[in-house]
Amino acid sequence: MSPVSRREFLKSSIAVGTVAGAATAAATLHADSTQKATELVTLGKSNLQVTRLAFGTGSNNGYVQKALGQQAFNNLVHHAWDRGIRFYETAESYVTPAMLAEALKPYPRESYVLMNKVTTDPGVDPLKRFDEMRHISQTDYFDIMLLHWQHDGKWVEETARWRDGVNEAQAKQIIKVRGVSVHGLPALRRVPGDQWPRSP
């Protein structure tokens, strides 16, 4: 038997691992085959119904979607819609909110869930920012608003003014459900002890 080089051994091992991983994934998917991506489920403790799968628009901050051009992006959104997706996501820091608004024009606003994420810049009036975001997204309200990119352990204190702004926007029916988008363990560790994201 000829000796096997290290490179050939590694390639064979990776191939075997990939096949084994795919088999495990297939078995897991088969076990959960009764749950469909387009099924409506209740989001957390809110009364909001969303499809299990959301259509995200932030690949490389949305530049991947932007590169498609508006018509191709519309086609992609309509493809998802035709297959039952009713949950769409964007963010103020992405280049896609206006593109998504254009793509969703054919559909009644109450027929889908729109999630947006706001950058919690210092020195900005939250309500004014929400109005600007609604204008760009061509909507009267957001179903979900997240405080975007909270990445350190001080976010709870540093976003107090933004939390108050979200609360006020909720009182005005501009935002239905609130939350936070955390990035990294320091920010995540603050979540269990913070009631604000889990409150109505």
29 compared with 198, residue with greater pLDDT: 198
pLDDT confidence of 198, banded at 50, 70, 90? confident
Supply the pTM of this predicted model: 0.82
pLDDT at residue 11 above 80?
no
pLDDT in tens, 156-193: 999 999 999 999 999 999 999 999 999 999 999 999 99
**Are 18 and 65 found together in one domain?**
no
pLDDT at residue 4 above 60?
no
pLDDT in the model for residue 43: 92
Contact 73, 65 (CB under 8 A): yes
pLDDT confidence of 44, banded at 50, 70, 90? confident
**Are 18 and 85 found together in one domain?**
no
pLDDT at residue 114 above 60?
yes
Identify which of 97, 105, 107, 182 has the alpha carbon closest to the alpha carbon of residue 142: 97
**Are 12 and 72 found together in one domain?**
no
pLDDT confidence of 200, banded at 50, 70, 90? low
pLDDT confidence of 13, banded at 50, 70, 90? very low
- Alpha carbons 156 and 152: distance in angstroms, whole number: 9
Q: From residue 58, how far is each of 55, 79, 94, 144 by CA, in Å?
A: 10, 18, 6, 16
**Are 76 and 132 found together in one domain?**
yes
**Are 14 and 89 found together in one domain?**
no
**Are 92 and 185 found together in one domain?**
yes
**Are 66 and 164 found together in one domain?**
yes
- The CATH number of the domain holding residue 177 is 3.20.20.100
**Are 1 and 60 found together in one domain?**
no
- Percent of the chain scored above 70 by pLDDT? 83
Q: What is the number of H-type helices and E-type strands within the chain?
A: 8, 7
Would strands 87-89 and 55-56 be described as parallel, antiparallel, or unpaired? parallel
pLDDT in the model for residue 27: 44
**Are 104 and 19 found together in one domain?**
no
Domain that holds residue 92: 36-198
Domain count, the chain: 2
**Are 70 and 12 found together in one domain?**
no
pLDDT in the model for residue 24: 39
